[in-house]
């Protein structure tokens, strides 16, 4: 049984907002996140198609999708407060016009239901880590409170998908290695168009043309430096748990070190790009 979030947008401490503490680079990542989150219903519809004979999971996926939309709505409102010139509806329409998933598919694009659930787990590892990092990094009190609230939801989403992942891995006889591979392939895919295009839709001027590599680097230059070693380590722990491998082990310590070094390399690569061209 899925436990839903019990908060509403009006419950958040909007009065804490301090415009002088808004960080322009962090705000760009918040705007991009708002657009991705707001499209959550497409994914829940797709999941309901893929798991059409599992009413328990479908009910959980529908509640999950509504929570993701609420995250998008919350972050969109925050972005409008921090930048009154930001037109959320326009940015969202721009994002949908260039990037959308085929929500009508009835077979998982991951090849199996286990693969699908592993991909969803990986996304929740990413979002829970991202909002935790953002909550620590920002000095703006309202954004800090919003990110803590959303991060709690994302950890709960991870637990939900992880419990179904275990169930389906047994049913479909997918090994721990198979699960780990599915998680890693979604992690590699994180460097795909979804976030980069959302970053472009939210932040580029009207005349700018989308350049995939450029906007991946722009997004990474703003988002990746937010992560601390502890947050990376925790993300790796969640991946180990979802795969069925023993967390807090020597293998996990090694994987964490590898992930941290990879992150530093990506930050260096992202910083090579000159960021002051079209976005300022």
What does the binding site for Fe ion look like in residue numbers (CB under 5 A)? 37, 68, 71, 124, 127, 154, 157
Closest approach, Cβ 75 to Fe ion, in A, equals 9
Which is nearer to Fe ion, 155 or 217 (by Cβ)?
Answer: 155
Closest approach, Cβ 123 to Fe ion, in A, equals 7
Which is nearer to Fe ion, 182 or 270 (by Cβ)?
Answer: 182
Which is nearer to Fe ion, 125 or 270 (by Cβ)?
Answer: 125
Q: Write down the residue that tokens 């994987």 correspond to.
A: 255
Tokens of 88: 């959320």
Note every long-range contact of 172-178, with CB atoms under 8 Å and residues 24 or more positions apart, other chains counting. Answer: 172/112, 172/113, 172/114, 174/112, 174/114, 174/115, 176/243, 176/244, 176/245, 177/243, 178/114
Which is nearer to Fe ion, 159 or 237 (by Cβ)?
Answer: 159
- The whole-angstrom separation of Cα 112 and Cα 109 is 8
The Cβ of residue 205 has, within 10 Å, a number of other Cβ atoms equal to: 8
Cα end-to-end span (Å), the chain: 47
What is the Cα 279 distance to its own chain's centre? 23
> Residue 53's closest CA among 117, 106, 104?
106
Which is nearer to Fe ion, 151 or 182 (by Cβ)?
Answer: 151
Which is nearer to Fe ion, 74 or 252 (by Cβ)?
Answer: 74
- The whole-angstrom separation of Cα 184 and Cα 47 is 20
Closest approach, Cβ 276 to Fe ion, in A, equals 31
Closest approach, Cβ 128 to Fe ion, in A, equals 8
Which is nearer to Fe ion, 60 or 82 (by Cβ)?
Answer: 60
Closest approach, Cβ 188 to Fe ion, in A, equals 20
Closest approach, Cβ 157 to Fe ion, in A, equals 4
What is the Cα 142 distance to its own chain's centre? 20
**Total number of residues shown for the chain:** 280
Contacts of 44 (CB under 8 A, 6+ apart): 61, 62, 64, 65, 66, 68
Closest approach, Cβ 127 to Fe ion, in A, equals 5
> Residue 243's closest CA among 155, 64, 122, 108?
122
């Amino acid at each position: 049984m899925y436990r839903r979030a019990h908060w509403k947008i009006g419950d958040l401490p909007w009065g804490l907002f301090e415009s002088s503490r808004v960080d322009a680079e962090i705000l760009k990542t918040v705007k991009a996140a708002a657009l991705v989150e707001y499209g959550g219903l497409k994914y829940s519809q797709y999941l309901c198609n893929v798991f059409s004979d599992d009413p328990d999971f479908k009910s959980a996926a529908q509640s999950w999708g509504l929570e993701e939309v609420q995250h998008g709505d919350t972050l969109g409102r925050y972005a409008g407060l921090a930048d009154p010139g930001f037109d959320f509806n326009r940015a969202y329409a721009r994002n949908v016009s260039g990037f959308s998933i085929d929500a009508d598919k009835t077979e998982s694009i991951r090849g199996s239901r286990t693969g699908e659930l592993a991909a969803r787990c990986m996304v929740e590892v990413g979002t829970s880590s991202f909002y935790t990092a953002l909550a620590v990094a920002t000095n703006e009190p309202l954004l800090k409170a919003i990110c803590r609230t959303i991060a709690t939801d994302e950890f709960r989403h991870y637990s939900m998908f992880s419990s179904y992942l275990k169930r389906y891995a047994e049913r479909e006889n997918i090994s721990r290695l198979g699960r780990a591979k599915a998680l890693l392939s979604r992690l590699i895919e994180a460097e795909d168009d979804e976030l980069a295009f959302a970053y472009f839709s939210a932040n580029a001027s009207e005349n700018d043309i989308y350049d995939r590599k450029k906007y991946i680097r722009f997004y990474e230059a703003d988002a990746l430096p937010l992560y601390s070693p502890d947050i990376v380590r925790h993300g790796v722990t969640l991946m180990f748990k979802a795969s069925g491998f023993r967390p807090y082990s020597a293998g996990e310590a090694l994987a964490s070190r590898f992930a941290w070094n990879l992150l530093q390399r990506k930050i260096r690569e992202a910083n090579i790009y000159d960021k002051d061209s079209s976005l300022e």
